[in-house]
Amino acid sequence: MKRINLLSFLAIALFVVALASNAMLYSEADVDKAAVEALIEGAYINGAFNDLDTETMRAGFHPVFKIHGVNVGALSEYPIDDWIVSIEKRKAAADFDAANQKWDHKFVFVDVTGNAAVAKIELFTDSKHVYTDYLSLLKFDDGWKITDKVYFRHADT
Max intra-chain CA distance, the chain: 83
Comparison of pLDDT for 20 and 71, the residue scoring more:
71
Mean pLDDT of the residues in the chain:
86
Please tell me the predicted confidence (pLDDT) of residue 2: 54
Residues 63-72, mean pLDDT to the nearest whole number: 95
- Lowest average pLDDT, out of 8-17, 50-59, 70-79, goes to 8-17
80, 61 Cβ separation under 8 angstroms: yes
How many percent of the chain have pLDDT more than 70? Answer: 83
Beta-carbon contacts of 25 under 8 Å, excluding residues fewer than 6 positions away, are: none
Report yes or no: 125 and 19 within 8 Å, Cβ to Cβ: no
Looking at residues 126-139, what average pLDDT do you find? 96
Question: How confident is the model over 2-19, as a mean pLDDT?
Answer: 47
Q: Round to whole Å and give the CA distance between 113 and 111.
A: 7
Q: Does pTM top 0.85 for this prediction?
A: no
User: In this structure, is the dihedral angle defined by the CA atoms of residues 133, 147, 31 and 35, taken in order, positive or negative?
Assistant: negative
* Number of residues in the chain: 157
Q: Which pLDDT does position 3 carry in this prediction?
A: 53
All structural domains of the chain: 28-153 (3.10.450.50)
State phi, psi for 45 to the nearest 5 degrees.
-65, -55
| Cβ atoms 149, 134 nearer than 8 A | yes
Mean pLDDT across the stretch 108-127? 96
